Structure 1
Amino acid sequence: MSQTQQKETFQDIIRGDKPVLVDFFAEWCGPCKMMAPTLKQLAERAGDKVRIVKVDIDRSRSAANQYQIQSVPTLILFHKGKIVWRQSGVQPLHKLEALVKQHAG
């Protein structure tokens, strides 16, 4: 890895051409743990149609504050830097798949 290579920022990630599903979670959150296998399945099924990013609200307080995260898990779908969908609580796989299809390509 070269010294000049810069780390991708959160803003760089959400501004990309493909949809980005951000999972705002906390280690201590039971429902967040329930969401993890669903997100893993979504990643396997959707392949490169979506990017899934997990943000620990306890480690990334600035991002949590910027997006006014009140409860976890909160999922936000970004497309080209804009919020196209946002929901708190555990979400079913079929709903997330439909969202990805709607916004991918």
Structure 2
Amino acid sequence: MAGSVKEFTDANWKSEVLDSSVPVIVDFWAPWCGPCRMLAPTIEKIAEEFGDKVKVGKMNTDENSDTPGGLRISAIPTVLVFQGGKEVDRLVGVNPINKFKDTLGKLGVA
């Protein structure tokens, strides 16, 4: 389904993120995190607006510890952008949608 926010886990990380043929935006969050809840509508808008051109998902850091630990996620919300299996950008905290659009623009996603 185009425009939906996926759930990333330690188990599906490689197939969903590292092996993706399109850029991937990953929102690292936790249910108790207030700023994470503030960022959620922005993440959903990006998924709706960019549809199949970008894969957008969230990873609950309380339920998945291996991947965030390996990526040096020390504060949430942290959003990582991947292209070709490599991290190409990192946005920490609550950022406006334009910051995400700027990053995607640099990756050739319009």
TM-score band (shorter)? 0.7 to 0.9
For residue 98 of structure 1, report the CA deviation from its aligned partner. Answer: 1.9
Map of 2:84 onto structure 1 = 80
Map of 1:103 onto structure 2 = 107
Given the two structures, how large is their TM-score scaled by the length of structure 1? 0.86
CA contact (8 A) 1:50 1:104 kept: no
Gaps of 5+ in 2: 1-10
Map of 2:14 onto structure 1 = 11
3-state SS in 2 of match to 1:84:
strand
Counterpart residue type for residue 20 of structure 1: V
Instruction: Give the number of aligned pairs.
Output: 98
For residue 99 of structure 1, report the CA deviation from its aligned partner. Answer: 1.4
3-state SS in 2 of match to 1:70:
coil
For residue 104 of structure 1, report the CA deviation from its aligned partner. Answer: 4.2
Counterpart residue type for residue 84 of structure 1: V
Map of 1:63 onto structure 2 = 67
For residue 95 of structure 1, report the CA deviation from its aligned partner. Answer: 1.2
4+ residue segments displaced more than 2 Å: none
Given the two structures, how large is their TM-score scaled by the length of structure 2? 0.83
Larger radius of gyration between Structure 1 and Structure 2: 1
Name the CA distance, whole Å, in 2 between partners of 1:43 and 1:104.
16
Counterpart residue type for residue 56 of structure 2: I
Identity among equivalent pairs (%) = 36
Gaps of 5+ in 1: 1-7
